[in-house]
Structure 1
Amino acid sequence: MFRYLPGIVLVQVVTFTLFWVNRESSVEDMLLRVLLPAVIVSLVTALWLSALAGMESERRHAKLREEHASEREKLNREIERARSEVLQQASADKAHLLERTHVEREQLVRQTHKQLMQRERSLSRRANLKVGLAFMAVTGFGVLLLATNLMTLGLLTITTAGGAMGGYLFRWRQSRQALDRLSTLP
């Protein structure tokens, strides 16, 4: 506001001086000697004040652009920081989810293994009972044959039953050792 005051005062002083110098002139002379120079001084002063206003506007515009640029940089830094925090959180969540999935998978494997072992033992007990009963029946038949004087056939039956029982016990022992090794796995 005060930047324009010297220009306004200058126009008034020049106009007043022109009127004071030409105070005793006629109206036609006054138009030429006062009005024409006053209009020229006013136009030059208006251009001068317009240039001052343009420079002030450009200075304010540059300052505003600089403020906006710094604010944009600040916002970009904040966005980048927030983005990196979100990415870190997502990475941590992913790692936690993978760990939890791994633990749940391990628990499921252990539980399934335990159920399979229980089922295997149950089936093994039933099979052992059936084999034992079959062995006793064949041995009993062999003793019956021996008792009825069919010595060779009775001995052959008892020997065959004993060999079958031995083979079965040998296979059962091997499978039992394999199951024991599997049950000690984590």
Structure 2
Amino acid sequence: MKRILISALIGLAALTAGCTGTSGNANPTPTTGGGSSSTPTSDTGSASGLKALKPCDLLSGADATGLGLELPGEAEKVATSDGCSWKVTGNGRLRAGIRTEAGVKDLNLQGDKVSDIKVGKFDATKVEAPDGAKSQCTVVIGVTESSSVAVIATLSLSSEDTAAACERASKAADLIAPKLP
């Protein structure tokens, strides 16, 4: 059990730290599906608007309780991410982390399945079972090419219900997206 816990924590730390150090022009991969794409831009107004947000304000009290999260959320900094973590009664955590200097393409996102999705008006990447952790799912919203918000849902370590973790992360990301610049 200790190995599983240590492995999960290392995986979570690697995912939240996941900066590859790559520089240059990142070109987002087009998402599948019809309609127009609103690819994030390097709009400095959006980046500065993101810097003004407090991670624990990304979910309102009603949003948090609707997701089964315990209030209040706990502010925390992990690597380059300013975040907020909420406990889920008896079944894990949810974390939202803001990176003002790392876009989706700057992160090393690996998991059992990685897919491009849309969250509100934003391009995003969903990572199922990051680094093999079946109890986790991450949705990273590309606010601009050089900034992002990661939503990480973690179920209890004994769980291997990746679909439930992804459902929680996706619902939270849908609630967070309208609050982003």
TM-score bucket (shorter structure) = under 0.3
Q: Which has the higher helix share?
A: 1
TM-score by length of 2: 0.19
Greater RCO, 1 or 2 (C-alpha within 8 Å, sep 6+): 2
Greater C-alpha radius of gyration: 1
Q: Which has the higher strand share?
A: 2
